[in-house]
Structure 1
């Protein structure tokens, strides 16, 4: 009986280790896809090596105790290029800081999959297109800063469902339509 218990315990440990490596590699793959989509003249992403077991050793990445990515800090890094849908795979991500760069293109709707996201800082870039309604699924979101871009269209009504929102800055864009006045928009300063 003791041998069976030992075998099951060992098997459980092996499976846990394998799952941790697979999850970390999946996150590393998503982040490396972002790296490939960006121009990095100052080499701030030089440590982003896809051959490592997980991205927790990369500069500008913070992980939790389970080696899951919780923070991407690339603000003011002289990056250009575009965001990638694969960022939506970082299911434990809390902070996505890409402000003050020259990022272009759209905000991928897949960012709405980031259920743990607390802060989305994409301000002062060259992002165009509309604000994805899928961001209304981010129930942990407190800070949404999209100001100083080239966004168009209305502020999605879906954002009014995010009761945790405290700061929304969408100023200095080409937005149109009415500003939501219900939900968190009743109590937060909105810069448009």
Structure 2
């Protein structure tokens, strides 16, 4: 019995730093990709085993990253797919920066995510359909970027979604009207000149032609 307990204790001690290292590597991948003029990421030291000691990072009692607060930090550069490795992340706050490029499809792996705030950046490309995997998501704010393409209809299955804002982009096609989207008003979609739908037009239109 004592040997069994000892083995499990050793396994726990081995696995925990491994998780911390993986999450630290994922966060440091972001640091390498962005320009940080105010040195808000200066404490992100890859030689430390535990990223929970870094500023702007919050962890749970098991030293797993649950929150990343980098709103209005004057960061520029691209998001990295590595962020999808933060399995217990609940809040990803990267609003009001100067981030460019696409939203990584890998963010759809963040099954614990409650809030995804990427508004007021310069993100391009389409909204990844993989975000429909975020069953715990309550807040999705992608407004004031340069996103294009259709709103993925798979997002309508996000039953816990309370706030959606994709306004002030360049989205096109029609606005989904089923599932969680039935409760969102025109304000969630405004200032997308190529976007049509029941909230804006009073009836459902079906997507036809090209929409890029």
Fold shared, TM-score > 0.5 on shorter chain: yes
The structure 2 residue matched to 1:88, chosen from 66, 81, 84, is 84
Offset of residue 84 of structure 1: 0.4
The structure 2 residue matched to 1:59, chosen from 55, 64, 68, is 55
Matched, 1:173 2:197: no
Match of 1:136 in 2: 132
* 1:77-130 CA distance string (max 9 Å, x none): 000000000101001000000000000000000000000000000000000000
Offset of residue 54 of structure 1: 1.3
CA distance in 1, matches of 2:55, 2:28: 13
| Structure 1 runs of 4+ with >4 Å offset | none
Q: Secondary structure at 2:15's aligned position in 1? A: helix
Match of 1:79 in 2: 75
Unpaired runs of 5+ residues, structure 2, are 190-212
CA distance in 1, matches of 2:170, 2:110: 26
Matched, 1:164 2:160: yes
CA distance in 1, matches of 2:154, 2:85: 21
The structure 2 residue matched to 1:191, chosen from 177, 188, 201, is 188
Match of 1:22 in 2: 18
How many equivalent pairs are there? Answer: 188
CA distance in 2, matches of 1:6, 1:51: 34
Unpaired runs of 5+ residues, structure 1, are none
**TM-score, normalised on structure 2?**
0.87
Offset of residue 188 of structure 1: 2.9
* 1:156-192 CA distance string (max 9 Å, x none): 0010011010111000000001111100011233511
Offset of residue 7 of structure 1: 2.0
* 1:12-54 CA distance string (max 9 Å, x none): 1111011011001000000000110010000000000111111
